[in-house]
Structure 1
Amino acid sequence: MIKAAFFDIDGTLLSFETHAMPPSTVRALAALRAQGIRCVISSGRPTYQLPPELREGFDAYVTLNGQLCYDAEGTYRSCPIAEADVRAIVGQVEEGVFDALVLQRERSFVNALTPRVQAVARQANLVYEPDDIARAFDAPVYQFCVFVEPGEEGVFLDKTTSVAATRWTNLFCDVVPREGGKAFGVEATLARFGLGPEEAVAFGDGENDLSMFGAVGTSVAMGNAWDSVKERATHVTTGVDDDGIWNACRALGLI
């Protein structure tokens, strides 16, 4: 019996076209809650990048790809990137090897507003603040978004010792601690709730959702998901703009 549902945001809860939740998704979330199913955000976004409609009403938040997790009672997982790896990546940015978005607990910023960086901001309906990359040392860094092409991850992985890379877009990759990723956040949340993997379902569309899929008993790939994500899911639904969340919840007998 499903008792918890984990939701990616971009391309899953939110449409890339409207940057809002389809009305059917709003109804599905309300119906899940009415059934006593705990609803959890599981996203690469930090709290301050959540749209207003997602900042409340959920039982827990797995943010920054699982590195910072909290609920109404407080933070129950915090896993920033090791300082040595922060220094390595910052050094490459300063050398002009690539551009990067720095995500800390209270703020995020980019080293430069290049056309590629601005394209990502438009895709996610966000505004990126430019700042000196050295500000990365002001507070722990939970995630970098490194703007390299698919297949070029080795440029920074070869210079670091304890980070991993994953993607939800070809424009950049998420860089997180090696012991990070959505799976760790989901596992910590299930432990918080006293639930097992077989009692959870996860919804996603990008490569960074694959680890989350491995941490639950039932996984749902959106119709707009990457092919690699659909191949690993236990269920494939319609696209986010075609009532995908609602249709999956109905097909799985959750509502």
Structure 2
Amino acid sequence: MRKKAIIFDLDGTAVDSPIHNLPSERLVRAVVALQKDYWMCAATGRGWSCGKDVLRALRLKDPCVIAAGTQICNPQTGEILWQKNMDAADAKRVIEIFREYPESHMLCNDYSLDDYLSKNFRVKDYVFPETVFFLELIDLPENVVQVIAEKIRKIEGLACIAPIGQHNSAHRDIHVINVDATKEQAIAEILKMMGVERNNTVGIGDGGNDIHLFNAVGKRVAIGNAIEKLKGLADLVIRSVQDDGLAEYFESLS
């Protein structure tokens, strides 16, 4: 019976996106080799449609955190095992803030990789659904991100995360989710599902949103290309994603 879990980020940790959107063969072999002894779970900001190719390529079988912590899914079928929606009134307030930037590009709930990379949706044209669990603005300058984030963080029931964007490393995206649906809370739910104690978990990440991941695990591992703040919180820093650092680390555990 497996009593330990490894939970790792995708972009910037398992894959060097957007340059390489699929994991290396070496990493896939390392993941498969560990599955007999560890629960192997991804925790990503990507939704199902955007992340399914990576999750399946990694041959993951155990529950994974997707959509920045708002959902837990079966990584092979996409079945949603857990979901945390925004309060309707909170979502309405965020949408009002987004509409102050009508030309900005955005995403809502589930979306494809092409939707993200091609920036297919503008705020001014978007028809919002009644149920919202994830909202995102894409590719914004730092000064705009700060203004929007400050407004959203005044809404008590929401969390606002601003990871580095995939379009321009000097820009950021904004993820808006229920305050009880970050990677931290979703990982806690996964550990309950699997019957694993927090002190028997390892978390690996690279970005600011992985601080929530670190808060949920026993051992904290930062990839070599991680932001300095995350490295400062880590128990161990491994080689970068460009050097297949995650695969090398997994091989050391076999």
TM-score, normalised with respect to structure 1 = 0.81
Match of 1:191 in 2: 192
Does structure 2 conserve the Cα–Cα contact (< 8 Å) formed by 1:102 and 1:108? Answer: no
Higher mean alpha-carbon deviation, 37-46 vs 83-92, is at 83-92
Match of 2:132 in 1: 141
Change (3 A) 1:172 1:63: same
**1:64-75 to 2 correspondence within 5 Å?**
64-71=67-74, 74-75=79-80
Offset of 1:148 from its aligned partner?
Answer: 5.7
Change (3 A) 1:53 1:92: closer
Match of 2:85 among 80, 97, 105: 80
CA distance in structure 1 between the aligned counterparts of 2:220 and 2:131, rounded to whole angstroms: 32
RMSD: 2.7
Figure out how many residues of one structure are paired with residues of the other and give that number.
236
Match of 2:151 among 143, 155, 160: 155
Does structure 2 conserve the Cα–Cα contact (< 8 Å) formed by 1:15 and 1:22? Answer: no
The letter for the 1-side match of 2:63 is A
The letter for the 1-side match of 2:182 is G
Superimposed CA distance per residue, residues 105-158 of structure 1 (whole angstroms, 9 cap, x where no aligned partner): 4x479xxxxxxxx9x94xxxx34432655522x242222223462533113333
Match of 2:96 among 91, 97, 110: 91
Match of 1:164 among 159, 175, 179: 159
Higher mean alpha-carbon deviation, 175-184 vs 2-11, is at 2-11
CA distance in structure 1 between the aligned counterparts of 2:42 and 2:238, rounded to whole angstroms: 19
- Gaps (5+ residues) in structure 2? 165-170
Offset of 1:202 from its aligned partner?
Answer: 1.2
Does structure 1 conserve the Cα–Cα contact (< 8 Å) formed by 2:50 and 2:112? Answer: no
CA distance in structure 1 between the aligned counterparts of 2:112 and 2:54, rounded to whole angstroms: 20
Match of 2:30 in 1: 28
Higher mean alpha-carbon deviation, 1-10 vs 70-79, is at 70-79
Change (3 A) 1:98 1:189: farther
CA distance in structure 2 between the aligned counterparts of 1:37 and 1:184, rounded to whole angstroms: 20
**1:44-55 to 2 correspondence within 5 Å?**
44-55=45-56
Match of 1:101 in 2: 106
CA distance in structure 1 between the aligned counterparts of 2:177 and 2:127, rounded to whole angstroms: 18
Change (3 A) 1:95 1:74: closer
Change (3 A) 1:89 1:97: farther
CA distance in structure 1 between the aligned counterparts of 2:85 and 2:125, rounded to whole angstroms: 17
**1:100-119 to 2 correspondence within 5 Å?**
101-105=106-110, 107=111
Higher mean alpha-carbon deviation, 142-151 vs 61-70, is at 142-151
Match of 2:210 in 1: 209
The letter for the 2-side match of 1:22 is S
CA distance in structure 2 between the aligned counterparts of 1:185 and 1:4, rounded to whole angstroms: 14
- Gaps (5+ residues) in structure 1? 110-117
TM-score, normalised with respect to structure 2 = 0.82
CA distance in structure 2 between the aligned counterparts of 1:79 and 1:103, rounded to whole angstroms: 14
Does structure 2 conserve the Cα–Cα contact (< 8 Å) formed by 1:204 and 1:220? Answer: yes
